């Protein structure tokens, strides 16, 4: 199985900050990496697919990069609604494993 490891597990930041979350795959997954935002009591929301493609309707302050085993999600200019948990997910295999999540908290 492909393991996905995110870091950090939690992060404190302020409105307006630029933050980066990283995700590492246990083997080469090329660019088959997706990012989701998840708020308590809500359905997860797709942000980025294919490592760097922005899902329709998602603000441009969200961006993704990486390939192979190392990936990152960057939020440029944090907004109050961005405080949530973020998950990466691999789609290189049809086992679709998720990272353990990164919780972004208000400083």
Binding residues for another protein, rule: CB under 8 A, are 1, 31-32, 34, 36, 38, 41-46, 49-50, 55, 87, 89, 91, 94-101
Min. distance of Cβ 89 from another protein in angstroms? Answer: 7
Min. distance of Cβ 94 from another protein in angstroms? Answer: 6
Closest CB to another protein among residues 36, 62: 36
Min. distance of Cβ 50 from another protein in angstroms? Answer: 5
Min. distance of Cβ 22 from another protein in angstroms? Answer: 16
Closest CB to another protein among residues 72, 85: 85
Q: Which residue has the tokens 């899902």?
A: 55
Ramachandran angles phi, psi of 74, nearest 5° = -120, 135
């Amino acid at each position: 199985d492909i393991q996905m490891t995110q870091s950090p597990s939690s992060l404190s930041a302020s409105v307006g900050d630029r933050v980066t979350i990283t995700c590492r795959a246990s083997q080469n997954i090329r660019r088959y990496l997706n990012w989701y935002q998840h708020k308590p009591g809500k359905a997860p929301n797709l942000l980025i697919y294919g490592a760097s493609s922005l899902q329709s309707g998602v603000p441009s302050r969200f961006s993704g990069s990486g390939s192979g085993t190392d990936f990152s999600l960057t939020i440029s200019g944090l907004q109050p609604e961005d405080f949530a948990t973020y998950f990466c997910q691999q789609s290189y295999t049809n086992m679709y494993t998720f990272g353990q999540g990164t919780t972004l908290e208000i400083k």
